[in-house]
Amino acid sequence: MTELSTLLLDVADGVATVTLNRPEQRNAINLQMQAELRDTIFGLDADDSVRAIVVTGAGNAFCSGIDLAEGGFGDDFRQQHDAALGATSSTIWESVAYWQMATPVIGAINGAAIGAGLTLALLFDLNYVAEDARLQLPFTRLGVAPDANSTWLVPRLIGLPRAMELLLTGRPFTGAEAAEIGLCVRARPADAVLAEAQQVARDIAEGTAPLAVAVTKRLVHEFLHSEERPAAMTRETELIWWLGRQPDATEGVMARLEKRPARWTGSKNEPWPDELR
């Protein structure tokens, strides 16, 4: 992995902790950070030794959004953005398609998460947040619409009425409210947020089978936009039978019977059979 200038990376015991590291700018996202974040997270996903990824912020903020000093939402910024990431705006979603990854991504929102700083975190699988963190989706107050798929995702997370209020008004709210309405898993004192997220990540790394987690994550995201419940159950059942033939299914049962920690040998990136892809 190339040297990082806007992130910190620590990997231990199957858990990677990625820290947004522009504290003087309250970890605002510039083009360099966006490219490094994409390469780092997808690189970690390709590494079988990494079982979970935690993302947090340096200092007392998680992320204050797009660095407006680099041009905001104008055409020049858009062109630089597309060039920096080697993609067009119509395909840029691929750089944040964490739902397609095999590895769980967990946010530790240790402080303010504003605009793109919050919509970035909402793309993660789980989020833990500081009780007093200031959160906001202020896009309509800036003359633009919400980004990062949030108009699709937020209503599915918290229901239409609450989503419409947050998205249309762009009002600020706290981490405690975010947990109460289901936007985050739990709110904790700011100094406990990272530790809790890392503990959940370690629990996944130690206690769960890599391929089973990857399949479960993919099915949940896949079925978010499926209205065919019988077809979903059929697909789920076929994948369960396939997982049942993998070595880790036997290991999980034996570990339970023998009352010992499981010794997983499977890969989260194991290719699925062609008929199940």
Let me know if residue 2 belongs to a domain: no
- pTM for the structure as a whole: 0.92
- Could you say which of 187, 205, 223 is where a domain stops? 205
Q: Is residue 1 part of a domain?
A: no
Are 104 and 121 in the same domain?
yes
Sheet holding 134-136, edge to edge: 61-63, 112-114, 134-136, 172-174
- 121 shares its domain with 257: no
How many domains are contained in the chain? 2
Does residue 196 sit in the same domain as residue 131? yes
pLDDT on residue 82:
58
What is the tens place of the pLDDT at every residue in 169-182?
A: 999 999 999 999 99
Whether residue 205 is predicted with pLDDT greater than 60 in this model: the reply is yes
Instruction: Sheet with 186-188: list strands edge to edge.
Output: 7-12, 15-20, 52-57, 105-109, 126-130, 186-188
d(CA 126, CA 11): 19
Query: Does residue 181 sit in the same domain as residue 215?
Result: no
Contacts of 240 (CB under 8 A, 6+ apart): none
Range 28-46 average pLDDT: 96
Which of 205, 231, 253 represents a domain boundary (last residue)?
205
Domain of 82 in residue numbering reads as: 7-205
Which CATH number do you get for residue 134?
3.90.226.10
Quick one: 115 and 220 in the same domain?
no
Q: Which of 178, 205, 232 is the last residue of a domain?
A: 205
Q: Are residues 246 and 270 in the same domain?
A: yes
Question: What is the rounded CA–CA span in Å between residue 53 and residue 123?
Answer: 13
Residues 42 and 156 in one domain: yes
64-122 pLDDT per residue, tens: 999 988 765 555 555 555 555 555 555 566 788 999 999 999 999 999 999 999 999 99
